[in-house]
Every structure is written in structure tokens, then in C-alpha cells.
Amino acid sequence: MQIHESGENYLEAILALSEKGPVRSIDVAQYLGFSKPSVSRAMTLLRENGYVVMDDIGLLSLTPAGLEVAERIYERHRLLTQWLIRLGVDPEIAAEDACKIEHDLSPETFEALKRHSQAMGGA
């Protein structure tokens, strides 16, 4: 199933937040700067499509399918952010720009950037 950019952003946010502990919808809303109702609707859609599960107390976790998407996008985000910072871009702007680029970059181009970054001693 094809997932939209907004869905990728939600999954990436859950992954990033889960590195610090349990994740609730309100955490995702605050992390992304979205309203709670918007996040609740997105979580419903992501659950219905098999990317996220919510337990009895409202904690979110990624399914294997959700984790696969989130890890792919998060890897792109981290590498692109570091790459832009090494080019001299302010870290905050680099993170914002990486978020814009990460969804549209072809797998071939990303792999080339990754190889280049590794060859240069980066991420």
C-alpha cells in the first residue's frame, strides 16, 4: 500500500519519540505542531491501514510495516540533515529542509548520497 507524505511524517515522529519512551497521540501532536484532532484522525487511518497499534491506555507503537516506513524516512532525515549541516547550513534549517527533501528523493539518489557521505567519513 502506498503511504502519503503526511503518513510518513507521523510514522517518523512516532519512531523518533519512541526513542525517548512511550508515545501517545498528544506527544505526536506536540512534536509535529499539529492539533490533537488532526493527529487522532491520522492515527485512526494509520491503525486501519496496519501501520500503528494503540494499546488500552493509549500508547502508540509501530507495526512491522509502520516500522519499515518510519526507519526508511528517519534514516533519510538524519543523513540529509547531517549532509546539509556539513555543507554549512544552519542545523535548524538543515532539519527543516531535510524533512522537505526526504519524501521525494528517489531510492537511487538517496543511496548515491549515502555512499558519498560514507566515503567522506560522514553518516
| Same domain for 33 and 51 | yes
Q: What is the mean pLDDT of the chain?
A: 91
With a cut of 80, say whether residue 41 has pLDDT above it: yes
Asked if 12 contacts 23 with a C-beta cutoff of 8 angstroms, the reply is no
| Same domain for 86 and 39 | no
CA distances from 52 to 16, 46, 49, 95 (A): 14, 6, 8, 25
Of 92, 113, 91, whose CA–CA distance to 102 is shortest? Answer: 113
Number of domains into which the chain is organized:
2
CATH of the domain at 46: 1.10.10.10
With a cut of 60, say whether residue 1 has pLDDT above it: no
pLDDT in tens, 45-60: 999 999 999 999 999 9
| Same domain for 60 and 16 | yes
| Same domain for 28 and 48 | yes
Give the cell for residue 26. Answer: 498528544
| Same domain for 24 and 43 | yes
| Same domain for 36 and 9 | yes
For residue 63, what are the domain limits? 5-68
CATH of the domain at 84: 1.10.60.10
Q: What are phi and psi of 21, to 5 degrees?
A: 145, -170
**DSSP assignment, residue 88?**
T
